[in-house]
Amino acid sequence: MERKSIIRAGVLAAIGAGVVALIIAGNPAVSTKATATTTGDRAPGYVRYVPDNLFAVSFRGANNGWAAGYYGTLLQTTDGGKTWVRRPLKSNDLIRRVRFLNDHEGWAVSHRGSIFHTEDGGSNWTVQHQVPDVYLRDIVMVDGDNGWAVGHKKTILHTTNGGRNWTPQTFAHRTQDPPRLNGVAAFDAMNAIAVGEFGVIVRTRDGGATWTQIPSPAQTTYTAVAAAGDHAIAVGLTGYLTYIPRDGGAPKVIPTPAPLHVLDIALDPAGNGFAVGVGCAYRISGDTATPVKIDVPQGADQVWFGGVTLLPNGRAMTVGLRGLMARYDPGKQEFAAMADWSK
């Protein structure tokens, strides 16, 4: 099953090396009174601050959150996104994903193969591990000990001691080239799923000792995956969402109304959540996806959102192009812009 990519007016979506790049006519408008302050020990000019693109966001509760992206940008909020502080990463790596296990301990992965770790809520970061010449694209921690990171060249890294050691794992692939893995999700310390290009879906039931490729209903590039109680959902290019039963049943495509690239997904244990991407957002409930309005000044069809996280009481936050942030309001049933750093 194939769908044609679309090019909206003023937006060029270029897919290369797993990165979605867009060219926007004009500058995004300021959409909020949110402010940002800077801290840190970097030399002048060493790092750019937003409006660089943001690819990752992670919240713990309603107030404590982190966002990250291009050129080492790492932001923290303690008031639900009203104000943000830059935290010094001491690196200009592109941060692809950031995940916090609790209010204190978090991990991030980068395009230069770095796994960063913090134990103080993101104020200070260290490099736990590095894989030369490998773009790491996602990380998941089941608890304080067990987790996986994935990336290009079918890279899978596994830890059982909180990241002090990361051990390579592998699988036999059915593709001509080693597929890049873009997303990983875990049900527990034994059961996890990773997804990537060429429609690759791999599963482990033994903590990663063996990974098995399972048939995919779509030959798309999967960009992310999230796990719920009894299933996972992978999202991908040209609008593909794929429901993957935990019990080993056959994956199936979740219909979406348009072939728009979907870049990230977040689910709660009951299987409810959101998926976001290029000019689109969906509310997910089990194996259904309902389009959600994105009310942003630039126009939803001219922006992309690369990361999404769940907040309490049915809310969510998403981040994307040029530092744009938007929050889902259950009352209005839409994402509304809340931060834009273009001015």
List pLDDT tens digits, range 294-319: 988 777 778 999 999 999 999 999 99
pLDDT tens figures, 55-85 = 999 999 999 999 999 989 999 999 999 888 8
Where residue 262 falls among pLDDT bands split at 50, 70, 90?
very high
Residue 221 has pLDDT above 90, yes or no: yes
- In terms of pLDDT, which residue wins out, 52 or 4? 52
Residue 97 has pLDDT above 60, yes or no: yes
**By percentage, how much of the chain surpasses pLDDT 90?**
72
Q: What is the pLDDT of residue 52?
A: 85
Q: What is the pLDDT of residue 23?
A: 25
The continuous run of DSSP H or E covering 160 comes out as: none
The Cα–Cα gap between 248 and 225 comes to 16
pLDDT tens figures, 12-57 = 233 233 333 222 222 222 223 344 444 444 444 445 557 789 999 9
Which residues, including other chains, have CB under 8 Å from residue 288's CB and lie 6 or more apart?
A: 254
3-state DSSP call for residue 184? strand
Q: Where are the domains of the chain?
A: 11-339
CATH for 11-339 is: 2.130.10.10
Q: What is the pTM of this model?
A: 0.87
**Cβ(256)–Cβ(238) below 8 Å:** no
Q: What is the mean pLDDT of the chain?
A: 85
Q: 137, 67, 11: which is closest to 324 by C-alpha?
A: 67
Q: What is the pLDDT of residue 87?
A: 87
Q: What is the pLDDT of residue 342?
A: 54
Q: What is the pLDDT of residue 18?
A: 34
Beta bridge mates, 169? 156
- In terms of pLDDT, which residue wins out, 23 or 226? 226
Residue 212 has pLDDT above 80, yes or no: yes
Q: Which of 86-118 are b and which e, b meaning 16 or more Cβ less than 10 Å from the residue's Cβ?
A: bbbbbbebbbbbbbbbeeebbbbbbbbbbbbbb
